Chain A
């Protein structure tokens, strides 16, 4: 088959000039090929992701309105200075930070625990692995309402359970009060999220050659040393990856807050992006919303950069 096709090609290069021409055409084609392959993806990406990034910064300097015929005056840095004088931003930033500090370590610890327990042979491990990952694939709207009903003041599972233990009727309106509502949001986020860090850690642990563990033990290494010198170094890149992506995700938390509390009561459960969203799409302050989102993007970008830098230094 291969021989036949080589012979077939030969007649095309009988004339020398034609050969040179076709060779050059071939070279041009080879040069162009990667760009042609990239073009469709780059076009969509440039229009729907890169341009909006630029546009976000752009409109953050305007008092932007979307109503037809409205003027959009340039306001310089005033949207940004407003951020530092807005009391709701202070609450939202505090809630976002708290959300990061609470949900990220919780997801990492639970993910690590599940991965450590399930990496080696265990009865039914395929089932346990799938079960732990399932919350990740569920929809935010669905699970937010399931949790809302579990924590409902009337007929909710949590109050019923507490009533049994307390011996009298407990009727806590979890979602309506600031700190219990935050608690439900955190619980839901950790529950839905830890399966994701679990599969990343599982892949990292599965990737450790088992002979390496055995060899270390044959050499007389204690379990403590095996973990220090083999297991933990193998986990480190996964840990950085998971931390960076979880922090980015947690700092931009939105759906569960929007569905469960809409930032209420009185903006007390507002997080940064739910507030930016409300500014843009409820108050139509697009410039201000864009300024909040831009600032958040810059902070996160700086954070990822530093974190990845630190990881590279560790590896070297």
Chain B
């Protein structure tokens, strides 16, 4: 950034005219070098994890480390999937994450529609009540939430966990969707209503399809939050049959301190779904941005 600030004044004023952030000198080479360095820093440790997942389990904790396994093996993946009911944890995580996304997006779009399209008493108050919790991370409420689930007999259940995830993710999802809904012209909605559509039809038949990029992006955020959560699941789940992936992985390494190979193989498998969801949403991210450009 300092580079741009210190850029010398160009000799000819005509040269200075450029639409980019860096004006006359786009500094493509320097920018490319920085981009490559940052990208390498970002994915380097993950590539190393990939390499570790193909390293024979008896090669861990050796005298020296190597970036690429000497004699790569697929055995870790077989061990990871068959031992430790890993497949079971995987399915638990899929169930909880998908349910969290569906419930959160459904409830949030109803609420966001109310905030975006209706004027009613206490509207601002209710909206700020939702927003206020963004200043209190869900994590901070683990103690009272634990006591609450205990009271509701929802402790150690995937249903209880899902409800906590939904509640934690609702405020941001409502906030994000409301902004997008407000950008949809009211006339379209009126035309749709004249055709006899009720409020719910307007939402499901018109608003949501038009908001698909926004829905895709919040779905990705919510999926990640549920898939990745460690503290809440650690606190609320007790029995191994209910473990989600992060808890399964954590106990995996705790129970078999020497099983690094299968652990990193399991880690790779656990990362794949989030990566897929991210890559899919990337497509929508782009169309969301270009859609915003048209308006």
Q: Is the CB of A214 within 8 A of B133?
A: no
In the assembled complex, the CB of B247 is this many whole angstroms from the nearest CB of chain A, namely 8
Q: 8 Å CB contacts to A: which residues of B125-141? A: 126, 129-130, 132-141
Q: How far is the CA of A307 from the CA of B279 in the complex (A)?
A: 34
Known: A55-B147, A139-B245. A146 touches B21 (CB 8 A): no
Total interface residues on B, CB under 8 Å, equals 105
Of A152, A222, A280, the residue contacting B61 (CB under 8 A) is A152
Q: Is the CB of B107 within 8 A of A40?
A: yes
A213 interface residue, CB < 8 Å from B? Answer: yes
Q: How far is the CA of A224 from the CA of B133 in the complex (A)?
A: 39
Total cross-chain contacts (CB, 8 A): 304
B49 interface residue, CB < 8 Å from A? Answer: yes
Known: A35-B120, A145-B253, A223-B23. A134 touches B5 (CB 8 A): no
A301 interface residue, CB < 8 Å from B? Answer: yes
Q: Is the CB of A132 within 8 A of B42?
A: yes
Q: Is the CB of B199 within 8 A of A48?
A: no
Interface string of B228-240 (1 = CB under 8 A from A): 1011000100000
Segment at the B interface, from A17-25, A119-127, A173-181 = A119-127
A290 interface residue, CB < 8 Å from B? Answer: yes
Task: Give the residues in chain B near A210, CB-CB below 8 Å.
Answer: 19-20
Interface string of A96-128 (1 = CB under 8 A from B): 000000000000001011101111111111011
A310 interface residue, CB < 8 Å from B? Answer: no
Q: How far is the CA of A110 from the CA of B34 in the complex (A)?
A: 11
In the assembled complex, the CB of A129 is this many whole angstroms from the nearest CB of chain B, namely 9
B39 interface residue, CB < 8 Å from A? Answer: yes
In the assembled complex, the CB of B196 is this many whole angstroms from the nearest CB of chain A, namely 5
Q: Is the CB of A138 within 8 A of B148?
A: no
Segment at the B interface, from A76-84, A86-94, A153-161 = A153-161
Q: Is the CB of B170 within 8 A of A41?
A: yes
Interface string of A1-35 (1 = CB under 8 A from B): 11001101100000000000000000000010111
Of A2, A44, A154, the residue contacting B166 (CB under 8 A) is A44
A315 interface residue, CB < 8 Å from B? Answer: no
B4 interface residue, CB < 8 Å from A? Answer: yes
Q: How far is the CA of A49 from the CA of B88 in the complex (A)?
A: 29
- Do most interface residues of chain B lie in helix, strand or loop, or is the interface mixed? helix
Q: Is the CB of A110 within 8 A of B38?
A: yes
In the assembled complex, the CB of A48 is this many whole angstroms from the nearest CB of chain B, namely 4
Q: How far is the CA of A126 from the CA of B51 in the complex (A)?
A: 25
B91 interface residue, CB < 8 Å from A? Answer: no
A56 interface residue, CB < 8 Å from B? Answer: yes
In the assembled complex, the CB of A193 is this many whole angstroms from the nearest CB of chain B, namely 11
Q: Is the CB of A131 within 8 A of B143?
A: no
Of A33, A137, A160, the residue contacting B274 (CB under 8 A) is A137
Known: A50-B129, A155-B63, A300-B136. A150 touches B48 (CB 8 A): yes
B142 interface residue, CB < 8 Å from A? Answer: yes
Q: Is the CB of B4 within 8 A of A117?
A: no
A75 interface residue, CB < 8 Å from B? Answer: no
Segment at the A interface, from B72-80, B110-118, B208-216 = B110-118
Of B60, B107, B136, B166, the residue contacting A301 (CB under 8 A) is B136
Q: Is the CB of B21 within 8 A of A116?
A: yes
Closest 10 A-B residue pairs measured CB to CB? A48-B167, A131-B39, A52-B144, A34-B118, A55-B144, A37-B114, A210-B19, A34-B114, A41-B111, A160-B65
Interface residues of A (CB under 8 A from B): 1-2, 5-6, 8-9, 31, 33-35, 37-38, 40-42, 44-45, 47-53, 55-56, 59, 66, 110, 112-114, 116-125, 127-128, 130-143, 145-147, 149-150, 152, 154-157, 159-160, 163, 169, 191, 195, 205-206, 208, 210-211, 213-214, 217-218, 220, 222-224, 226-227, 231, 244-245, 248-249, 252, 254-255, 258-259, 273, 276-277, 280-281, 286, 289-290, 293, 296-297, 300-301, 304-305
Interface residues of B (CB under 8 A from A): 1, 4-5, 7, 9, 13, 16-24, 26, 28, 31-32, 34-36, 38-39, 41-43, 45-46, 48-49, 52, 60-65, 67, 107-108, 110-111, 113-114, 118, 120, 123, 126, 129-130, 132-148, 150, 163-164, 166-168, 170-171, 174, 191, 194-196, 199, 224, 227-228, 230-231, 235, 245-246, 249-250, 253, 260, 263-264, 267, 270-271, 274-275, 278-279, 282, 289
